Amino acid sequence: MSEKPDKSIKVNIAGRFYPLKVSTNEESLVKDVANEVNDKVKAFQMRYTNKDQQDCLSMALLTYAVDYYKNDSNAETKESPLLKARLDKLDAILNNALD
């Protein structure tokens, strides 16, 4: 959520509401992602009926984290070393500017 937050919304994730401030452009995306997370939690609840909602939420989070790191590592192997070095330098500059 990099744009200036200008709208307050509440999203429901696994039965709990979370207040967020988002840009108008991101509102739809955030709500869609929240719905996708809820669908994934429900799928885990149906598959693992002996697990509680917290366990299913944790498994959904782990699924997203694994997918993220798979995609991130695939992207890194496709980048040229020079591009990666430049991106790392830019990342360091931005991190220093934010600190």
Nearest residue to 37 via CA among 68, 13, 67: 13
Q: How is the chain split into domains, by residue range?
A: 7-98
Nearest residue to 19 via CA among 27, 28, 29, 9: 9
Would you say 45 and 15 are in contact if contact means Cβ atoms under 8 Å apart? no
CA distances to 19, 27, 35, 37 from 23, in Å: 13, 6, 18, 20
Residue ranges of alpha helices (H) inside the chain are 27-47, 53-78, 81-98
Say yes or no to pLDDT of 32 above 90. Answer: yes
The model's pLDDT over 35-72, given as tens digits with 9 standing for 90+, comes to: 999 999 999 999 999 999 999 999 999 998 898 888 87
Query: CA-CA distance, 37 to 60, in Å (whole number)?
Result: 7
Say yes or no to pLDDT of 30 above 80. Answer: yes
Task: Tell me the pTM.
Answer: 0.65
Phi, psi of 26 (to 5 degrees): -95, -10
